[in-house]
Amino acid sequence: MTGETLSERILRENEAVFEAMVRHRFTTDIEGGHLAGEVFDRYLVYEGAFVDTAISIFALATAKAGTIEQKRWLIGVQDDLANQQIAYFERTLAARVIDPSSFNLGDPRVKAFCAGMLDIAEKGAFLDTIVAMFAAEWMYWTWSKRVAAAAIADPLLKEWVAMHAGDTFARQAGWLRQQIDEADASLDDAGQARLSAVFGRVQALEIAFHDAAYGNIV
C-alpha cells in the first residue's frame, strides 16, 4: 500500500492536463487584468448554458445516490446552482446588455463539454458523476483561489471569481473529494484507473470549452 488516497492518485495521474487548465489564458487574462470584454460576454453565455446543464447532472447524481445524507447534500448543490448561480447570470447578462443569440451556442467545443458531462451523468455510475464534477469544481476552486488575490476591476467578474474561491464552493468541491476517498476501498485498480481517466477527459473538455470563449476556431 502506498498510503495514497484515490483523489490523490487521480490528481497525480492528471497533473499535466490539470495544470494546463488552471493556467489557461482565460485564468491568466483575468489575473493580469486584461480579459477582453467580448471574451467575458461570450464566456457568460456559454457558462450559463453549462450551469443549467450542471443542475441536471446533480439531479442525476441525486437519483443514483445511495444514502439520504448524499441526497440532501446534492439537493443543496442544485439549490445553490438554480438560485445563486443562475441568478448571477440573469443579473449579469442584463447589466452587460448581452444578447445570447449573438453568440454561437452551437460551438462544437461548448456542445462537446456540456453533452460530454451530461453523458457521464446519464450513462455512468454515481461515482463517475462525482468524479466528473470533482474535476470541474476542484479545477475552478484551484484557479479562482489564485486569481482572487489579484485586483479585478470589473465588479461582476470579481464576484464570479470570488464565488468560486469562497467557502461555500470550497466545501462543495471538498465534499466531492471526500465521496471519492470514501469509495476508494470498494474499487479495484481497474475501477480506480477508469475514474482517473474520467477526470482527465473532463479537463481536456474544459480546456476546449475555455478556448471557445475566445471565439471561432481558426
Ligand X SMILES: Cc1ncc(CO)c(N)n1
**88 belongs to the binding site for ligand X (CB under 6 A):** no
**Please, are residues 180 and 7 in contact by the beta-carbon 8 Å criterion?**
yes
CB closer to ligand X out of 73 and 140? 140
CB closer to ligand X out of 31 and 47? 47
Which amino acid is residue 73, in one-letter code? Answer: W
Site string for ligand X, 29-48 (x = CB under 6 A): ------------------x-
**Please, are residues 130 and 197 in contact by the beta-carbon 8 Å criterion?**
no
**Please, are residues 44 and 89 in contact by the beta-carbon 8 Å criterion?**
yes
- Distance from CA of residue 58 to its chain's centroid? 12
Residue 103's SS3 state is: coil
**209 belongs to the binding site for ligand X (CB under 6 A):** yes
**137 belongs to the binding site for ligand X (CB under 6 A):** yes
One of 31, 41, 107, 206 touching ligand X (CB under 6 A): 206
**77 belongs to the binding site for ligand X (CB under 6 A):** no
Closest CA to 171 of 59, 80, 67, 50: 80
**50 belongs to the binding site for ligand X (CB under 6 A):** yes
**140 belongs to the binding site for ligand X (CB under 6 A):** yes
**136 belongs to the binding site for ligand X (CB under 6 A):** yes
